[in-house]
Amino acid sequence: MTSPDRTPSVELEDWADRIEAGCRGTRFDPSLVRVLATCDSTQDLARASGPGAVVVAGRQTRGRGRRGQRWIEDLGTGVAISLATRAEAVDRLLLGSTIGTLEAIRAALPDAERGRVGIKFPNDLVERRRGAKVGGILVEVADEVAVIGVGINVHPRTWPEGLSAIGLEELGAGPGYRRIDLIETLPARVSEALDADRATLTTRFVEDHLPTGRRVEIECGDRVHRGILESLDPTGSLRVRGDDGVVEAWPAAATRILSWDPERDDCA
């Protein structure tokens, strides 16, 4: 069953006030919060507003992900938010925003379910039992402005064929959970993580990276390689033991994980 559009204006009535409150004391500016019922892409609007801006859409019709892929949030069932800040190294911004978003997601879940969500390099948040996508991060830097786009699945919906995804409601947030309950926490969570040092962020990313130790399929340039992901340095390399037993290091900046085997003995 396809979920109905969940973006009636009444749902958005308290969003601006709550997001503005959530921005206080962070690197994001409460006076630059913008809430829209519908837009093409929150990324473009946040960039136009400059550092400190936060743009949220109840429904996003042309959201985008990495490498020109589309982020699907066209039914008003998930979170589409962009946060603008000063330009920094993309890899550090991605580390911080991924850690901050993961913490916000876990805080929305019951204690017993928080460990079900982790990271898949380079920018996905996934559910560990079957690898379904929970959210994703997009960082775009240009003209001294960095825009962090965060997409998170919240309510159930019908997904396009071939896409494995799951929302927070299905993970245990409960049918009464509102998208704003998560959105209002993201500015502070992301801001705090971005202020952490690189070593701390790297350690936390590695600890929460679910495909490590599992069989993966990776892509680097025009090469596709399969094997066991032995270790990961998100700003350095991925070390994969191939089917021939040879361990090869693949540069993190040019590599992505196409798929992984999510089966785990501790999640039977």
Q: What is the predicted pLDDT for the residue at 4? A: 47
Q: Tell me, what's the pLDDT at 194?
A: 97
Residue 48: both structure tokens together: 């136009």
pLDDT tens profile 30-40: 999 999 999 88
The backbone torsions φ and ψ at residue 263, rounded to the nearest 5 degrees and listed phi first, read -65, 130
Q: What is the pLDDT of residue 168?
A: 96
Residue 39: partners with Cβ closer than 8 Å, 6 or more residues away: 45, 55, 57, 60, 61
Give me the sheet containing 237-242, strands edge to edge. 247-251, 237-242, 223-232, 215-220, 255-260
Query: Vertex 200, ends 196 and 201: CA angle to 5°?
Result: 75
Q: Where in the chain is the domain with CATH 2.30.30?
A: 215-267
**CATH code reported for the domain at 215-267:** 2.30.30
Which part of the chain has CATH 3.30.930.10? 9-207
Class of domain 9-207: alpha beta
Could you read off the pLDDT tens digit of each residue along the chain, which spans 268 residues?
A: 344 455 556 899 999 999 999 999 999 999 999 999 998 889 999 999 999 999 999 988 865 555 555 555 567 889 999 999 999 999 999 999 999 999 999 999 999 999 999 999 999 999 999 999 999 999 999 989 999 999 999 998 887 787 889 999 999 998 889 999 999 999 999 999 999 999 999 999 999 999 999 999 999 999 999 999 999 999 999 999 999 999 999 999 999 999 999 965 444 3
Residues 114-158: tens digit of each pLDDT: 999 999 999 999 999 999 999 999 999 998 999 999 999 999 888
- Contact status, residue 157 vs residue 146, Cβ threshold 8 Å: no
Q: pTM score, two decimals?
A: 0.90
Q: Which pLDDT does position 70 carry in this prediction?
A: 58
The Cα–Cα gap between 103 and 151 comes to 14
Q: Is the Cα torsion angle 98, 104, 105, 111 positive or negative in sign?
A: positive
